[in-house]
A and B are shown apart, each in its own frame.
Chain A
Amino acid sequence: MPVPKREEMYDGVVIYEYEDFVVQEPSYIVVGLPDTGLVGAISVTHMISELGAIEVGGIDLLAMIPPITLIRKGEPIPPIRLFLKDNVLFVLSEAPVPINYVYKLSKAIMEYSVKRRFKLLISLTGIASPSRYRDEKPRAYWAASGKEALEKALSLGIESFDEGILIGPYAVILKEASKYRLNTIVLLSESFMDIPDPEAAATALKVFSELTGLRIDTTKLLEEAELIRLRMRELMKQTTRTMSQMGKELEVRHPIIYT
């Protein structure tokens, strides 16, 4: 890990910046954490590779149990990495977020977003859908908080996540964003729950492209879908265990109560 130029501590979560960088306008922070179908992690990994984003920082979770250090090319790296390309800062996690860090990490990302004055915080994730096995093209939905975010989401031409339950870091971000006066959009793509789903990631990326105006080519992602699924098998297994601890199977997209 390079020597950080700046570091900020948020309740046991440290955000490092390896160099001075400026995020161009309109600035977006895009979060891809391992979750349902690894949609967020696959989407963000693909964008980093397609756009040639460069690593500018990382996020460490202090006192993580079990104590884990990720090592790449012989050097320790933080479990969550920050990549920059022009006006987009990508947050990519290499491991599932431990349940005791879901709140802390979500709040740290929001505080950092406010401090860095990001225009919009975008989260990409999957929503488990039984219809995925029928080979239907996955549909995408949005959920948003903040006036500007809502206006942008409404212009996307996709359905809103009308009623249901979200569980995990994105749920915290969506719920708490208004307290931080932060504009945030969660893009949800129908996916398998515990099988990596690059096709669902491609759907999320299509909506992301419309939202930000960034052109993301998903041809390679779809061509290499089977290899990606093979490569991400172990991360999916770890993520499934974490999701199970969170009660993620309760996440649904349908009315909760009758009124």
Chain B
Amino acid sequence: MTDIRRRLLSMIDADRDALLELLSRLVRAPSPNPPGDTRAAAGVLAGWLDARGVAYRMVACNPTMPNLLGSIEGARAGPHLVLNGHIDTFPPVARERWRDDPFSGRILDDKVWGTGCSDMKQGTACLVAVYAWLHALKGEIGGRLTLTAVSDEETFGPNGARYLLEHHGSEVLGDCLLNAEPGAPTTVRFAEKAPLWIGIDIATIGAHGAYPHKNPSATRIAAALIEDLATIEDTDVQLPPAVARAIADGAAEIDRIHLPGAAANMGRVTLNIGTWNGGTLVNMLPGRCTIEADIRLPWGVSPCLMVAKVGEIVARYPHASMRVISSQTPEWSDPHHIMVDLIRRNAREVAGVNVRPIPSLAGTDARLWRQRGIPAFTYGTTATNVAMPDEHTDINEWLGVVKTHALSALDFLSGEATK
């Protein structure tokens, strides 16, 4: 191990307690989206950088959703690496089923607990810390390192990474994107399924609930439609060979980290009826009902095709109409990219972990870089209870991920790959 790599690791070890406190404080600064007010949480991250004299800017399109942006020039020419994490989190779910306050940030049983701890405050805290450590070493590294800690990821909103790419493209695009969304430290993600969000509105005239013969019921139409919609999960899929191979090679690990069924779902269309709301009062025959469907498309299935397919089903119901809320094309980066090799090598070295390149089920902001032709990779801790009660992060696992990120970023900027 080179001297600079050794020094980087000892900086991380020295900062261990401070790092834990950073994550805990970040969780204690709630940033659920919606509504997406991330000012307090962004302030926690800014505090870490301020304390270490690291320059950054707050770039905010929406004042309640600031993005933290900073760049370091190395001492010599080299590749441009961009780090990306998000500050916002899912809203807390089922408060009554948590064993503690959902925003406690408690450090207990070698874990940090709270809403968004895993997705992805651990990852964003990690990248902010990596940025500060490499800032301390900037006289010795090459290339350029950019930090983006963004708001507005959870709803794929316009104020976060998308805003930065559209308005600060030359600074945040780079040559490679490294993201720390949760997944599992045994996998590096080179691709992700694409979400297609569709709203379906059912409108009938409604009536008094005792007169069900007068008009069709919007809720009962919705129930039938939901059952019909399930057929899209049987769509025939032709995966690109590189992706199919990665899924096949990683199947056992995919099922281990994401529970059995995950590898099969990776190559399939899946349907989630995320929200279903209808009616006003129990004794009124509902005249309105709305369904929001989150369909995940594997590589090779185009959103246009799926929209048409859903449209055919919706058209069977004269009272229903559909609208596309959000549509994306599934993308993938080269699973043999140098960043994949660096992560695999460093994870083995610092944590003794064998890492496989696999695609991801969930969507991340990394897709925005892939869409612009930039190879983008995600490496993070196990996604423990994301969007569920008792979301948490295992501290030892996390420290391994932090070190892997730090070394891989350093190696990439040092042109380690080409050696």
Q: Do A and B bind each other?
A: no
